[in-house]
Copies of this chain bind each other. A is one copy, B any other.
Amino acid sequence: MGIQERKEREKTQRRDDILNAAQEVFFEKGLQNATMDEIAEKAELSKGTIYLYYRSKEDLYLAVMMRGMELLYTMFAQATGKQRSAVEALRALADVYTQFFHEHRSLFRMLHFSQTPQLHKQVSEEMRTACSIQNMKIWNFVQELIARGIEEGDIRRDLNPIAVAVLLWSATTSIMSRIDYGAEYWKSTMNVDLDTVLRQSLEFLLDALMTPHAREQLRQQPSIS
Interface residues of A (CB under 8 A from B): 30-32, 109, 113, 115-118, 132, 136, 139, 158-160, 162-164, 166-167, 170-171, 173-175, 177-178, 180-181, 185, 189-190, 192, 194, 196-197, 200-201, 204-205, 208, 221, 223-225
Contact = CB atoms under 8 A, between A and B. Distances in A.
A179 B103 CA distance: 29
B200 A30 contact: no
13 contacts: A31-B118, A32-B118, A116-B116, A158-B223, A158-B224, A159-B204, A159-B223, A162-B197, A163-B200, A163-B201, A166-B192, A170-B170, A205-B208
Q: How many copies does the complex hold?
A: 4
Contacts of A178: 115, 166, 170
Contacts of A160: 197, 200, 224-225
A170 B163 contact: no
A5 to B, nearest CB: 21
Contacts of A166: 175, 178, 192, 194, 197, 201
Most-contacted residue by chain B among A115, A163, A173, A175 (CB, 10 A):
A163
